[in-house]
Amino acid sequence: MGEVSVGEVLAKLPDPPGYSTVRTIIRLLERKGFLRHRRQGTKYIYRPVQSREVVRRSAVAHLFKTFFRGPPSDAVAAILDVSSDDLTDSELSCLEQLVENAKKKDADHENVDDH
């Protein structure tokens, strides 16, 4: 969401808890270093410290480390097993392209290491 107030967070939640609960969670996230704030009048406006992509990569790495101690292909196999009936041809093509890009990247790294 970018920069938001506690009230804006509450407005986005489908079944929101109380205002003070959301404010407490946001302050806890700030103490842990995930958020920063600035004052705008009497309100605090919060923003994430890291980009969505950095957080996404960290979450996926944590997921792999916690649940899939084997090769990454085990995790991908589990995801495909759960969602294979819901994947469109377009999404499957996208996955194939991601695999091809990963192969090319790996081949490029091998060529660099050979020099």
pLDDT tens digits along 44-96: 999 999 988 998 998 888 888 888 887 888 888 888 888 777 888 898 899 89
Same domain, 31 and 66: no
User: Which structural domain, as residue segments, surrounds residue 17?
Assistant: 6-48
Same domain, 57 and 103: yes
Same domain, 61 and 40: no
Same domain, 42 and 86: no
Same domain, 10 and 30: yes
d(CA 27, CA 20): 10
Q: Is 19 within the bounds of a domain?
A: yes
Q: How many structural domains comprise the chain?
A: 2
Q: Is 1 within the bounds of a domain?
A: no
d(CA 49, CA 29): 10
pLDDT at 114: 60
